[in-house]
Copies of this chain bind each other. A is one copy, B any other.
Amino acid sequence: MEVLERIDAVQKRCEDLRLSGKTLGFVPTMGFLHEGHLELMRIAKRHADVVIVSIFVNPAQFGPAEDFDRYPRDTEGDLEKARSVGVDIVFLPSVPEIYPDGYQTKVSVDRLTKHLCGVSRPGHFDGVTTVVAKLFNITKTHIAVFGQKDYQQLTVISRMVRDLNMDLDIVGVPTFREPDGLAMSSRNAYLDPEQRRSALSLKKSLDLARHLLEKGERRAEEVKKAVEGLILSHPHTAIDYVTLCDPVTLEDVETLEAETLLALAVKVGNTRLIDNCLLGGASKNEDIPKQKGQRE
């Protein structure tokens, strides 16, 4: 496994690989890798000859009051894990390598970022799309793999890829969960044992919503109330948002007629966690959706 820190080195290596006829698969991460990340890498490996992983805690996607400084980091452990699943190249840049003096360019997606996490994290998605556009240009990848836990991120990046005519495919992978249902996240490391129990309320509330839908409930407001009630019945929880929306436009829905996204952001103690599920329609479809800029 090659570990490269310089943009030029990665870009040249990837261009040479492309010219030699190899297909490239890319998994961008902020490190502190867990099984969810490793699953993305395994899936990249299935789709491509060469797998590239980036590890970069991107300051541009953290707000001033957010956890950039204390975001968990474990480079040695990350490299070991990446090696164990057969990653070929790890790109490990410094912050000034990505944002040198004089840097001043931004890639932004408009309407999709006005919903869900875009409301409480202004600028977050601009940071995400900008760094991901850079990473796509650096790695020249044929496919890039993202988790569906960050559903809005997947949607926004797919939109960017399509709008900017980036010649690559985005692969979305179902959320990887702990045995008790908690969605895997590097931020789970922040939770103490009691908060860890309260964090289960997110997945439980998704299950409750599915149950209500099965019993015939179609009013978004009623589902939302039940979800919020369940979450708030757990200690240390505060709701950022509980939203039922169109899975393509992310615009709120009032009734659950077509397939609907239920998305949650919940603070457990000081830790902000997100989770989501699709309700109705294709939500039973467990296949991995392969999309070229959401070209469904």
User: Which residues of A does B touch, CB under 8 Å?
Assistant: 7, 11, 15, 18-19, 21, 102-112, 129-130, 133-134, 137-138, 140, 159-160, 163-167
Contacts and interface: CB of A to CB of B under 8 A. Distances in A.
Nearest to A102: B159
Given A7-B165, A167-B11, A167-B137, A108 B109 contact: no
A9 to B, nearest CB: 12
Contacts of A166: 137
A187 B1 CA distance: 56
A166 to B, nearest CB: 5
A250 to B, nearest CB: 12
Contact of A163 (B105, B111, B163): B105
Nearest to A99: B163
A133 B11 contact: no
A106 B107 contact: yes
A164 B104 contact: no
The 6 A-B pairs at the shortest CB distance, nearest first, are namely A105-B163, A104-B110, A137-B165, A138-B165, A134-B165, A105-B109
A159 B105 contact: yes
A152 to B, nearest CB: 14
Contacts of A112: 104
A134 B21 CA distance: 24
Most buried by B among A15, A107, A160: A107
